[in-house]
A and B are shown apart, each in its own frame.
Chain A
Amino acid sequence: MAKVKKEASSINASPGDRIRVSCEGGEYTGILLPRAGPAGYITLKLPSGYNIGIKESKIRSILVLEPSAAKISSVAPSTGKAAGTGKPPFISILGCGGTIVNKIDYRTGAVYPASSAEELLAGIPTASKYNLRAKILFSLASEDLTPAHWQAIAKETQQQIKEGAEGAVIGHGTDTMHYTSAALSFMLQNLPCPIILTGSQRSSDRGSSDAESNMRASLIAAKADLSGVFICMHRDLSDDVCALNFGTKVRKMHTTRRDAFRSINVHPAAMVHLAQEKVEKLSPLCPSRNKAAKLSVDTALNTNVAMQYIYPGMLPSQISALSKYDGIVLVGMGLSHLPINLGKDNLAQPIFKEVKELISSGIPVVLASQCIYGRIGMDVYTIGRAIKDAGLIGNGCDMTPETAYVKLMWVLGHEKKAERVKELMETNIAGEISDRSEIASY
């Protein structure tokens, strides 16, 4: 929440007061607002509804015409309590924060999260059509979520299913939603029903927010004949269709667009058509509901894992500095490459020696690609072969760097043996490695 600055001592009025300001050149009447911008100005709401800023140094006097009826305060979110009368089977709505559950404090311009499960439920369109139970797990921007939060979400999901949820919709900030979806995909095994993560790219304080259609589509998906973890967001710029993307094969690919989330290296699992309230499966890999499936939840993680982007000119010492981790994902160049200076050029700055040192010290090093799309191939070029021989993990895999990172944490949470770690990393566990590279998936 933006800081509400205390008004300067010369301003003898409180936010919310109706005041008359006399200043150089004339007078203004309006409501004093809390100040969110730079100091030295006051913000006044004119009777027309417009706000203006007045320079404090120009103010001669302020007359309070009518004191504020209520003091402006912020509401602390109450987490943990559930709302909704849903008897099983119900759809569980879990609030984790992010734009989709945010409201705006218009007076300060700051955005704050839904403060209670009731408020979360009240903000959901078409809620009356469904049997819902809502709960706020946390109210955080997704950039502040950690692996511990993924574990909490997984456990809560398990609890909800145990209590009779036939599906869950998780409201989540978009920036790291694909990390959470990958983590849940590994942690929630043998899911009987769909777990849908959704968010919004335009906040709900605007008429054009995508929150409404994303939430509507997610509810349709949560009730549909599906199982597994999915991200449900706009397919394109229109509000008509949302895409359901597999939790391990999806990535936020745009900073602002509604259709920021793209399936990587595979087709989206399904499309949700809002007008028809229908889910259209696109991928043969998209599983149906399975009431008989016995959910097992395995949240063990070793979070002492690092992810390092490789770039031209990086110093070998940056690789050496990674020796304190139990596992490393290198986001390499192209097909599978790192600067290793095969050409023995004077200007080159190879980092290969340091990578090899990490591996020989027993740290698993996984390679993913900055290309995002496509597969790692260590057999094509001499450099690739050298990398493969050195023991880097990931040959033939098409995981996104983020999925590889989450998977390595999960694998290391279960396995310490280097060979076994390599084997698990290169084996498909939760849909993260596809066996075919479909032509139309790029």
Chain B
Amino acid sequence: MMCGIEIHQRIAGRKLFCNCVPLERENSQPQHFSRSLHAVRSELGELDSAVRLEAIRGRHIQYEAPYSSCCLVEADEEPPHSLNTEALHSVLTFCSLLSSRSVDEVHVMRKNVIDGSNTSGFQRTAVVGSGGSIKTPSGALPIQTICIEEESAGILQSQKDSSSSYELSRLGIPLVEIATAPDLKSGKQAQEAALAIGTLLRKTGMVARGIGTIRQDLNVSIPGGARVEIKGVQELGMIAQTVELEVQRQERLLQLVAAIKSRLAGSQVEATFVDLTEIFSETRSQLVAKQLKSGARVLGMKLPSHEGLLGTELQPHRRYGSELADYARAAGIRGLIHSDEDMAKYGFSEDELGEVRVALSLHKGDAFAMVVGDKKKADAALSEVCCRANFLGVPEETRKANQDGTSSYLRPLPGRARMYPETDIQPVQITQEMLEDAAQAAKQTHEAEKEKEELLSSTNPELASQLLAVKGLLGGASSGTAPEFAAFASAVQRGIEANFAASTITNTLQSLKREGCDTKTLDANRFLSALLLFKRGAITKAAVAEVLRGMCKDSAATAESAAKKLGIEKITGKELQMLLKKDGADFGSFMSRYRLRVDAQEAQEIMKKAKK
């Protein structure tokens, strides 16, 4: 098996070719407009097959342009501005971290995409670096290329007819695409590599965080199979299974192909499509009747000697018939009906099926496939099905990752024919200074990492990993480092015991938040002041949580004022001696009464001395 991964990670900051900054929330009404996109030939005069397919669908695309996070550039009403140099700096930094060699001059290319996800009809992308490697638990994994590119628009809805809606706030966000060599030997290795790359990118503090900011594509092939690209695996934890299931799909397809070949004995599936609409003019099948009313046609084709093969399972709940149906869908049809399915679920009568068999001149062992829809699209759909059925092997294709680890056919694997130069942007020369800046940033990342490791060296490993994972507990801006870790770091530097500092964040703050306290009113400094108050001996360890709770409730309160207001300043020395004399007969009940104000150890020592 051969497997490589591509990581797409959003880079923080403004967009790649304009000055818009994507906002999470928009207050104003968006603008709407609609477009139709056309197929464009490449510079070599070829029409990419993936692009051709989209052109068949002839989609009409609706766009929603939020006022604040997009401008005329996203609307394709103004040429792109020059390449965002901060984003380029980030990508050069990633190159440096991966020991990749950067190109001398970055050429922005147009990659044809006419499904509507880019208003221009293409995605802008450029190679920035190549080579290098990433450390993974199974050893160093070579990197192939590092690209900078623009994010596509977010789909709002896609109707199976021919219109789609997209929202433009995402369009143009800079992405880094890191493609590894196809050296991964298992799904587990692929998952580890994705984790390693994602972690490295996050360490720089230069990437966007949150849901959807990182996506993984997988390239999988097996001997005798073909390169298949599986797009958009959202969850890291699904990578291994997705890879394994693709290997299974290709293996089973190869077995199936052998069976089909021996049955067909050299003959082919013929592209003869028969209009079966008349047969279903009075059908009880709701599915078909409804579509016929709106002018749809039923088209069918013979799949000679295919009986039983369409039902062969390739992946869990996905049969060879589902593969063919994907191809029909890609031409804009809702689905495919085939003879290995349970016909009862469609509500067809025996008479209707008999007539279909006659109309398609089926013999024993033959199967059939039918589609319902607009005549032109139904024709295109069966053509696609026919081509796929005659392709006796594993086709090179782009597939969509499904949530259960299986995948569905999306489009043919795009080739170089869909790439041509972006003439609106001049090539960018990578200067020595840019490389030095990137190397410096990479060095800082390494140093910060080392510092982090040192800080964590005296922390219990479980606490340490919890600490690195927490977020959203403390307020305040931070550049790169999470405010929780910044607070931990300064606490340790000020002499607070590391485990105590870590657990106050991961346990105390977490439970305050769970109680409903707004812990974000605390920034790293306010949080630290409570710990320092304990260190100075003004409050007990147990009182730290109470002081923090008080400070959460009153954003103006200092640690001192909160302790004072709560009346939990520490009782110590002579005062404690007196108190013990008065109330300390039963030490257990004394401590439970003064738990927040008395250090148990100090109290015990005083008691010991008194007994002497």
Contact = CB atoms under 8 A, between A and B. Distances in A.
Contacts of B131: 25-26
Contacts of B416: 47-49
Contacts of B280: none
Contacts of B114: 207
A25 B104 CA distance: 12
Contacts of A46: 127
Interface in B144-183: 145, 147
Given A50-B127, A207-B112, A202 B36 contact: no
Given A106-B42, A206-B40, A208-B120, A53 B421 contact: no
Contacts of B233: none
Contact of B110 (A107, A204, A206): A206
A213 B427 contact: no
A2 B106 CA distance: 19
A239 B116 CA distance: 13
Interface stretch (B74-82, B340-348, B566-574): B74-82
Contact of A41 (B33, B35, B77, B429): B429
B193 interface: no
B427 A37 contact: yes
A206 to B, nearest CB: 5
B35 A239 contact: yes
B103 A53 contact: yes
B126 interface: yes
A53 B427 contact: yes
| Chain A CB within 10 Å, residue with most, of B119, B130, B416, B427 | B427
B418 interface: yes
Contacts of B112: 207
B472 interface: no
A104 B109 CA distance: 14
Interface residues on B, range: 35 or more
B36 A239 contact: yes
Contacts of B105: 37, 41, 43, 52-55
Contacts of B89: none
Interface in A22-47: 25-26, 37-38, 41, 43, 46-47
Contacts of A208: 35, 37, 76, 119-121
A51 B421 contact: yes
Contacts of B43: 104, 106-107
Contacts of B466: none
Nearest to B40: A207
| Chain B CB within 10 Å, residue with most, of A37, A55, A110, A208 | A208
A163 B429 CA distance: 56
B426 interface: yes
B122 interface: yes
A403 B429 CA distance: 45
A46 B106 CA distance: 13
Contacts of B423: 104, 109-111, 205
Contacts of A237: 31, 33, 75, 77
Interface in A53-85: 53-55, 58
B39 interface: yes
| Chain A CB within 10 Å, residue with most, of B40, B104, B112, B426 | B104
Nearest to A257: B77
Nearest to B62: A238
A66 to B, nearest CB: 15
Nearest to B48: A49
Contacts of A53: 103-107, 427, 429
Contacts of A26: 101, 130-131
B420 interface: yes
A430 B423 CA distance: 40
Given A209-B38, A257-B77, A106 B420 contact: yes
Interface string A201-235: 11011111100110000000000000000000000
Interface string A222-256: 00000000000000111110000000000000001
Nearest to B422: A109
Nearest to A212: B38
Contact of B421 (A55, A106, A209, A236): A106
A205 B42 CA distance: 9
Nearest to A206: B121
A258 interface: yes
A301 B455 CA distance: 85
Contacts of A111: 423
Contacts of B429: 38, 41, 53
B33 A238 contact: yes
Interface string A106-134: 11011100000000000001000000000
A47 B144 CA distance: 13
B138 interface: no
B460 interface: no
Given A106-B43, A208-B121, A257-B77, A50 B36 contact: no
B427 to A, nearest CB: 5
Contact of B35 (A52, A205, A238, A256): A238
A111 B424 CA distance: 11
Given A26-B131, A207-B112, A208-B35, A50 B126 contact: yes
Interface string B17-47: 0000000000000010111111110111000
Nearest to A37: B427
Contact of A256 (B38, B39, B72): B72
| Chain B CB within 10 Å, residue with most, of A38, A201, A206, A256 | A206
Given A38-B429, A52-B105, A206 B122 contact: yes
Nearest to B33: A237
B104 A50 contact: no
B303 interface: no
| Chain B CB within 10 Å, residue with most, of A49, A55, A104, A202 | A49
A240 B62 CA distance: 11
B106 A256 contact: no
A207 B127 contact: no
Given A49-B417, A106-B43, A205-B420, 13 more contacts: A25-B101, A41-B427, A51-B421, A125-B38, A205-B423, A207-B37, A207-B121, A208-B76, A236-B33, A237-B31, A237-B77, A257-B72, A258-B77
Ordered nearest first, which 5 A-B pairs have the shortest CB separation? A207-B121, A53-B105, A106-B43, A49-B416, A49-B419
13 contacts: A47-B416, A50-B127, A50-B147, A52-B103, A53-B106, A106-B42, A207-B40, A208-B121, A236-B33, A237-B33, A237-B75, A239-B34, A258-B77
